[in-house]
Amino acid sequence: MRFRSWRSRAGIAVLALLGIYLLVLGFSALGSFDRTNGGEVAVVRNGGPLDNHRIRQVIQPASGRVWVGLYSDVHKYPAQQRFYTITANEGQGDRPDHEVVRVPSKDGVEMGIEGTLYFSLNTDPDVLRTFDDKFGTRKFRLLSDGRQYAPYDGDNGWSAFLDTIIRPVIDNDLREQINTFDCAQLVSSCALVQLGANQAVNPDSVTGTTPTGPVESSNGNIAAVQKAINESLARDLESTLGEAFLVDLKFNLVRITLPTQVQEAVNKAQAAFAGVSEAQARVAQARADAEANKIHQSGYAACPACAAIDELKAIPPNVTTFAPGAGFAITSP
């Protein structure tokens, strides 16, 4: 009787454990389905205590709900176009420290570069597998909070990856390209400091020229820098990362700024040139007035009556009596 009672209790315990196991297994099975939104792609890795951690599958954007396996890890990456902004405007860039890239020009002037890199992650399944093997198994430090994130850990993880891996390549490309131009070739106002400090201002300053010729426009050179960066970035990123993980790259160079001291010197030079131009304009006006008076005088010498007529016309309307000389006066009625 006792034996039967023990067997009954044991049977109930086994059934209870089996029920718990099936319940856990059921919940695990329900959590073993996943899907991607329209703007993301996923790399699935095996998981669980008895499984390996190799890549199981790649889920393309906007998928339906698919089986990913028990306890698998799903690494989701952005699939739509992304951008990386470098700017001096606080809160608008992609990193909290000093945003602007500081690089020297060919003649040694430190220049601040602001711009935006547009790109997309290569969603080819084979490329994504390699990307996840190389970068999805690591963590990168985010500058804003100092914490470590994997690239698939949302926006923080992606930003940490870009700051650590992509930003140095951008900085290096900008340094190489900017270093091939003088300051005045990229920022025209540099010429005011470099030429104005060593040469006397001459009348040509009014027309925007210098003793060596017209001031070179910076627009064409900036476009050349931007084009060179676009050509070199794709090549350098592929060389650095080991494969073309980022595609459709386009860098827009937004602005080039000067150091505070140089910009202040430019402002002073512009003010000085404005003052000189104003003085030269007054001189030119005086010369024109003198030339006009000379012509008028020669005309009066040839026609004394004309001089008298003009003199009468010049009488103000509020004058009632005009007496230019002794014995002669004109009184209006």
What b/e sequence results for 158-178 when a residue is b if at least 16 CB atoms lie within 10 Å of its CB, and e otherwise?
bbbbbbbbbbebbebbbeebb
Q: What is the pLDDT of residues 121-162, one digit of tens each?
A: 999 999 999 999 999 999 999 988 889 999 999 999 999 999
- Structure pTM? 0.65
Radius of gyration of the chain (CA): 40
From residue 274, alpha-carbon distances to 187, 204, 221, 227, 277 in Å are 19, 13, 26, 35, 5
What's the CA gap between 163 and 142, in Å, rounded? 8
Q: Which residues of the chain have pLDDT under 50?
A: 24-27, 96-98, 197-215
User: HSE-up of 42 (CA within 13 Å, CB side)?
Assistant: 23
Cα–Cα distances in angstroms (integers) from residue 295 to residues 285, 299, 305, 312, in the given order? 15, 6, 16, 19
Residue 201 is predicted with a pLDDT of: 42
As given in the structure block, the two tokens for residue 237 are 């990123």
Which tokens sit at 175?
A: 């340094």
Q: Token pair for residue 323?
A: 């007496």
Q: Tally Cβ neighbours within 10 Å of residue 261.
A: 9
Quick: pLDDT tens for 59-68.
999 988 898 8
pLDDT at 19: 56
Instruction: Write out the two tokens for 189.
Output: 């106002």
CA distance 132 to 161: 12
pLDDT at 146: 87
Q: What is Dmax (Cα atoms) for the chain?
A: 162
Burial 109-139 (b: 16+ CB within 10 A, else e): bebbbbbbbebebbbbeebbbbbbeebbeeb
Rounded CA separation 197/213 (Å): 17
The CATH code of domain 82-180+219-259 reads: 3.30.479.30
- The residues of the chain that CATH labels 3.30.479.30 are 82-180+219-259
Q: What is the pLDDT of residue 45?
A: 94
Report the pLDDT value the prediction gives residue 31, as an integer from 0 to 100. Answer: 55
Instruction: Output the pLDDT for position 306.
Output: 65
- Tell me the C-alpha distance between 314 and 333, whole Å: 18
Using the structure block, give the residue that is written with the tokens 């198994």: 137
Question: How high is the pLDDT of residue 205?
Answer: 42
- Chain CA centroid to CA 67, Å: 42
- Provide the 3-class DSSP secondary structure of residue 252: strand
